[in-house]
Amino acid sequence: MHALISNKNSLELDALTRTEFNFSVDHLMEIAAIRLWQTLVSEVFLKKDISNLISANSVSSQQLNIAAVCGKGDNAGDALTMLRHARLGGYSRLTAYIPEPCTMKPDVILNLQRAERCGVKIICYETVDPKSISEQLSTNDVILDALFGTGIDGPAKGKSSDLIRLLRDIRISRNEMGKKNPLIVSLDVPSGLSDAWKPEFPIVCADVTLCIEPMKESLYMPSARPYAGDIFPVGGIFPQWTKSSTQNTWLLEESDMKSFLPPISPWAYKMQRGRVAVFAGSSSGAGAALHCIHGVASAGAGYIALFCDKELFSAYLASIGENAIVRVFSKDSFSPECWDVVIAGPGWGIDLERERILAMLFQTDIPLVLDADGARMFARIASKNQDSSFCRAPIILTPHPGEFSEMLPILKSVPLDPLANVSETVALVTAFAKKYGTTLALRASTTHVGLPDGSCYIYDGSTPGLGIAGSGDVLSGMIGGFLARWLAFLKETGENRESTNAAIPSDNPMTKALLGAILVHGSAGKQLWLKKGWFTPIDLANACARISSGVMDTNVYDDR
């Protein structure tokens, strides 16, 4: 896992580093530029198909036309220093577009002068017609976006806003023409992005973002993530142990997966692999229950039951009888003490009878995974209560953005901590988790997991194939399946269910099950997309089963 920090914390880290190591601004700028340039060359120029970036007049990577669009702050100084290092490395077609030099910071002016002495062409965009700037920039192979770094507060305005839109138009025109260049590379964050960024704020749409470590939370806000393109971490600039980093928000990596998966015992029988009850499906959403059951099975749970409406019993028995017991729900057919985990919500409906059943489940001690309609009803019930006293059961909520929007009105009475120094998405999911003592996973282009202790885990695993109805149902099933297996394992090893309230998030089986399921689900989606293209929820569940069971073969889409 990588620790993430807010934009505001990154500014504090910059100041702290200069103080602790007695660095000048210019010294730190020099270190940053060297690391940024090395990463651009090694991760972008050498690993991407550079022939697609080189213009017709170029014959090698060193003849790339590289331009930097600079603002007035340190981010511009980094870009100007990068151009100087490019020139020293044999690159000769280099241009910097700058504001009036007198408006730039002193250390930025110093590096502007150095770049100019090295032969970098300097153009003041404030004295040139915007159409001419657009035409000139469009002839480049690479454009470095250095208008703003992490210091921006609020929307970009004036000339800077115009330049952001100009870069957007260049990218749109490039795509319409089917070209690969100019490649737009943002330094640290796309210009315009702040912790409180909103979709209506101007922002550069980058192909690549070279993000200085610790990386920034704001890059992973669901609505902002597409603007960053491919994100490459750039290390070796700031100390990773600094107290300025909150160490409270983490970026998940697929290498973390194994630590979150429940152990597999070759001697375990069905009850020792966990018991999962599923409340899902209705006449208007029957398929969701099927996908959820397949998700539970793919997580390796040993004993699975679907509790359904009477009129759907025969259909479900015929379609999933090989994966789960099918029962018509009644007071006599469901006994809470017989189950380790309950999943409720996929395709279930939100009528008063469903709400009554959910309220009954709230009064048990069984961990609940609430997805889709279950999450909606939780929001409806929670809105009538000031705290979590209405619910005894440990809760995992897995809303998508539409469902989460129905939860947000509840937070209007909860002022977000202005001293928390986190991006807006992190602030919202953790505020909700704290208020109701739940674990909440907001599933969007990125997944944000908020925990009651205020910590947050982020997974950046978007792939086109996962954008299909049923994908989330498979995930909710996997979460319940992994949690049941963890609880069964802990019971066998002498630990009890109170461990679901463990003080340390990484030791909490609810957190492990959720993060493990997210990583397996995302990894399966990526593999399927690369090997098969479009896929179905059943394909996804089968791929998840192979990964979660340790069968990491390459033919994840082969159902043999």
AA identity, residue 356: R
56 has pLDDT over 50: no
544 has pLDDT over 90: yes
Quick one: pLDDT at residue 2? 86
Strand partners, 448: 442, 458
AA identity, residue 281: G
Quick one: pLDDT at residue 61? 65
pLDDT band at 241 (very low <50, low <70, confident <90, very high): low
Tokens 């909103």, residue located = 198
Tokens read off for 100: 């009036």
* Element containing residue 537 per DSSP (H, E): helix 537-548
User: 560 or 338, which is more confident?
Assistant: 338
pLDDT band at 321 (very low <50, low <70, confident <90, very high): confident
User: What does pLDDT average to over the chain?
Assistant: 90
Quick one: average pLDDT of 386-392?
A: 85
CB-count burial class (<10 Å; 0-12, 13-18, 19+) for 429:
buried
Superfamily of domain 2-247: YjeF N-terminal domain (3.40.50.10260)
245 has pLDDT over 70: no
125 has pLDDT over 70: yes
Strand partners, 328: 308
pLDDT digits (tens, 9 = 90+) for 350-378: 999 999 999 999 999 999 999 999 999 99
Task: Say which range, 32-41, 244-253, 412-421, has the weakest mean pLDDT.
Answer: 412-421
d(CA 325, CA 457): 34
124 has pLDDT over 60: yes
189 has pLDDT over 60: yes
3-state SS of 476-515 is: HHHHHHHHHHHHHHHHHCCCCHHHHHCCCHHHCHHHHHHH
Angle between helices 537-548 and 509-532 (to 10 degrees): 120
Quick one: pLDDT at residue 559? 42
User: 403 or 422, which is more confident?
Assistant: 403
271 has pLDDT over 70: yes
d(CA 65, CA 532): 37
2-247 and 270-541 agree in CATH topology: no
177 has pLDDT over 50: yes
Query: Could you give phi then psi for residue 493, rounded to 5 degrees?
Result: -95, 5
d(CA 560, CA 339): 32
Quick one: pLDDT at residue 384? 86
pLDDT band at 77 (very low <50, low <70, confident <90, very high): very high
243 has pLDDT over 70: no
Task: Say which range, 36-45, 417-426, 510-519, has the weakest mean pLDDT.
Answer: 417-426
Quick one: pLDDT at residue 331? 87
486 has pLDDT over 50: yes
Return the percentage of the chain with pLDDT > 90, whole number. Answer: 77
Flag whether the pTM goes above 0.85.
yes
pLDDT band at 51 (very low <50, low <70, confident <90, very high): low
d(CA 461, CA 467): 12
Quick one: average pLDDT of 338-358?
A: 96
User: 202 or 56, which is more confident?
Assistant: 202
Quick one: pLDDT at residue 558? 45
- Domains of the chain, by residue range, sit at 2-247, 270-541
Quick one: pLDDT at residue 554? 40
CB-count burial class (<10 Å; 0-12, 13-18, 19+) for 518:
buried
pLDDT digits (tens, 9 = 90+) for 438-452: 999 999 989 999 999
d(CA 326, CA 305): 6
pLDDT band at 171 (very low <50, low <70, confident <90, very high): very high
Quick one: average pLDDT of 304-309?
A: 97
Superfamily of domain 270-541: Ribokinase (3.40.1190.20)
- List Cβ neighbours of 109 (8 Å cut-off, separation of 6 or more): 101
DSSP 40: I
Quick one: pLDDT at residue 555? 46
Quick one: pLDDT at residue 46? 81
